Amino acid sequence: MYTKSKELFERACLSIPGGVNSPVRAFRSVGGTPLFIKRAQGPYLYDVDGNRYIDYIASWGPMILGHAWEPVVSAIREYAAWSTSYGAPTELEVEMAELIRSMAPNIDMVRMVSSGTEACMSAIRLARGYTGRNKIIKFEGHYHGHADAFLVKAGSGVATFNIQTVPGVTPGVSQDTLTAAYNDLEGVQRVAAAYPGEIAAIIVEPVAGNMGCILPQPGFLEGLRALCDKEGIVLIFDEVMTGFRLAPGGAQELLGIRADLLTYGKVIGGGMPVGAFGGRRDIMEKIAPLGNVYQAGTLSGNPIAMIAGYTLLKELKNNPAIYRQLEEKTLYLRDGLDKVLAAWGQPYTINQLGSMISVHFSEHPVTDFASASGASNEKFKIFFHSMLRRGVYLPPSAFESWFLNNALSYADLDETIRIAGESLKEI
C-alpha cells in the first residue's frame, strides 16, 4: 500500500535530515513512514502509490477552499509568464496591502514577508524597538515559528518531540523570553509584575492551534488587552493560523478584541510562501526605511506569491458565506465524531471553533498545555494510523489542530465519521 512512499523515504533520509523539510511531517510521534504526496485536488490528497485521502491538514491551513483551486492556479500561470520576481515594487503589492487592511481590523500598515516565522520574528523586533524594552511573554504550547526567541516551551513540533531546551539557542536569548500558561490571566499578571517596565510584548495565539485546538476562556484575551494598556506592553496576536480562517478579519473580528500588532501566514499566501505583519501606524512607522528597526527580504512581496494570496483573500472577502459553510461542516463533523466517540465509551474531549477542530483522548477538558499533554498519545497514534489506512489524513501529531476546507462535501464528512467509528474499535 505504501511501497513507493517507503522507497522515497529511505532515499530522502540519505540527503535530507530525517527525510523531511519540516519535522512534524516525519510521522515520528505516530510511528511509521510519512506518505509522499503526488498531487491533490479539492479535499483529496493522492500519494505516490495512488492512494486517496480525505485531507484534514489542508497544508496546515492555507488550502481553505481545497487544493488546486482553479482561480489561484490560473492566476499563478498568468503571472509566472511575466517573470517570477523583480526585486522592485509592483502594483500588486499595493493591492494586497489594501485588501489586507480592508479585511483585518486594526491594520494601518502592513509589510509582507515570506513565512509566519519571519512575520513573528519581525513583530517581536519591532515591539522591542518601539518600546525600548527587551523581554517578551509567550504562552506554553504556543508556536510562533522557529526564531530563537520563541523556542521556549513551544508548541507544534517542539511539543510533539518533547524538546525541553533547543541546543543552539543561547541562554542570553532565552532569558528574555518569559512564559505563562494559556488561559491563566493571574499567571501572566504575576510574570508582568515581576519585571516592571521591562516587557516589550505579549505574543499569543488568540485561539491556540499548535497543541490541538484550544479556545480562549472568557475574559482571558480581554485581560491581556487591559494588562498591555496599563503597562505599555505591545499586544501581538499571532494570527498565522487563525487569520482569514476563523473570519475574514481572523480571531480579532470573531472574538471582538483588538491587538496592537498582528502576524499572518498560512491562508494569506494561498499555498505560496507568504507571511505578513502589521498593525498600529505609530508602531509600524518604526520599521526601516521610515525608522531604524531593520527588516528586509529579497523575495518579500514576490509577485507569484502575491497573486496567489490576493486571489484567495479576495474570494474570502467577497463571499463571506464560505465561513458559515465551513463552520456548519465543522459542526456536522464534530457532532458525528461525538456520536461515534460516545458509543466507543472511553474518555475524550473535542475542541472546536470555526473550521478548527481537535479530538483529545483525555478525561479532562483541554484548556492549556498541561491538559493537552495529559491526553493519551498512545490512543492518538492508533487512531491516526487506523484513519490513514482507511483513507483519512489527519495531522500526524496530537498537538495539532485539524483544518477543514470548503471543498469537503457532506459525503466526505459522513465517510470520515464512519471511518472514525471503525478506527476507534482498534484502540
Ligand X SMILES: *Cc1c(COP(=O)(O)O)cnc(C)c1O
- Lookup result for grid cell 525600548: 132
Q: Which of 238, 260, 368, 412 is catalytic?
A: 238
Shortest distance in whole angstroms from residue 36 CB to ligand X: 20
Identify whether the C-beta of residue 374 lies closer than 8 Å to the C-beta of residue 352: no
Residue 192 sits in the site that holds ligand X (CB under 6 A): no
Q: Which of 79, 143, 264, 310 is catalytic?
A: 143
C-alpha cell recorded at residue 363: 478525561
Distance CA 427, CA 105 (A): 45
Distance CA 240, CA 225 (A): 19
Shortest distance in whole angstroms from residue 425 CB to ligand X: 33
Residue closer to ligand X (CB basis): 67 or 144:
144
> Using CB under 6 A, which of 129, 141, 145, 270 touches ligand X?
145
Binding mask 30-59 for ligand X (x = CB under 6 A): ------------------------------
> Using CB under 6 A, which of 5, 51, 106, 115 touches ligand X?
115
> Using CB under 6 A, which of 249, 265, 301, 395 touches ligand X?
265
Distance CA 239, CA 116 (A): 9
Catalytic-residue membership of 238: yes
Size of the site for ligand X (CB under 6 A): 15
Question: Residues near 297 by Cβ (< 8 Å), separated by ≥ 6?
Answer: 112, 113, 114, 118
> Using CB under 6 A, which of 96, 120, 199, 419 touches ligand X?
120
Q: Which residue is nearest to ligand X (CB)?
A: 116
Residue closer to ligand X (CB basis): 276 or 420:
276
Identify whether the C-beta of residue 33 lies closer than 8 Å to the C-beta of residue 385: no
Residue closer to ligand X (CB basis): 35 or 120:
120
Residue closer to ligand X (CB basis): 212 or 275:
275
Residue closer to ligand X (CB basis): 240 or 261:
240
Q: What are phi and psi of 217, to 5 degrees?
A: -70, 150
Shortest distance in whole angstroms from residue 24 CB to ligand X: 10
308-367 binders of ligand X (CB under 6 A): none
124-143 binders of ligand X (CB under 6 A): 143
Distance CA 4, CA 367 (A): 40
Catalytic-residue membership of 86: no
Identify whether the C-beta of residue 399 lies closer than 8 Å to the C-beta of residue 210: yes
Shortest distance in whole angstroms from residue 117 CB to ligand X: 3
How far is C-alpha 198 from the chain's CA centre?
A: 29
Going edge to edge, which strands form the sheet with 349-353?
Answer: 349-353, 356-360, 402-403
Show the CA angle centred on residue 156, arms to residues 310 and 225, nearest 5°.
70
CA atoms within 13 A on the CB side of 410: 5
Residue closer to ligand X (CB basis): 115 or 416:
115
Binding mask 193-212 for ligand X (x = CB under 6 A): ------------x---xx--
Catalytic-residue membership of 332: no
| Cα–Cα distances in angstroms (integers) from residue 212 to residues 16, 68, 298, 360, in the given order | 28, 26, 34, 8
Residue closer to ligand X (CB basis): 119 or 417:
119
Among the listed ranges 66-74, 95-103, 111-119, 124-132, the one in contact with ligand X (CB under 6 A) is 111-119
Identify whether the C-beta of residue 403 lies closer than 8 Å to the C-beta of residue 267: no
Question: Residues near 324 by Cβ (< 8 Å), separated by ≥ 6?
Answer: none
Question: At what angle are helices 377-389 and 410-424 packed, to 10 degrees?
Answer: 130
Residue closer to ligand X (CB basis): 205 or 253:
205
CA-wise closest residue to 39 among 21, 52, 27, 20: 52
Shortest distance in whole angstroms from residue 356 CB to ligand X: 11
Identify whether the C-beta of residue 398 lies closer than 8 Å to the C-beta of residue 213: no
Q: Which of 135, 266, 329, 381 is catalytic?
A: 266
Whether cis (ω within 30° of 0) applies to the bond prior to 43 is: no
Binding mask 227-246 for ligand X (x = CB under 6 A): -----------x-xx-----
* CB-count burial class (<10 Å; 0-12, 13-18, 19+) for 21: exposed
Q: Which residues are catalytic?
A: 143, 238, 266
Residue numbers of the site for ligand X (CB under 6 A)? 115-117, 120, 143-145, 205, 209-210, 238, 240-241, 265, 275
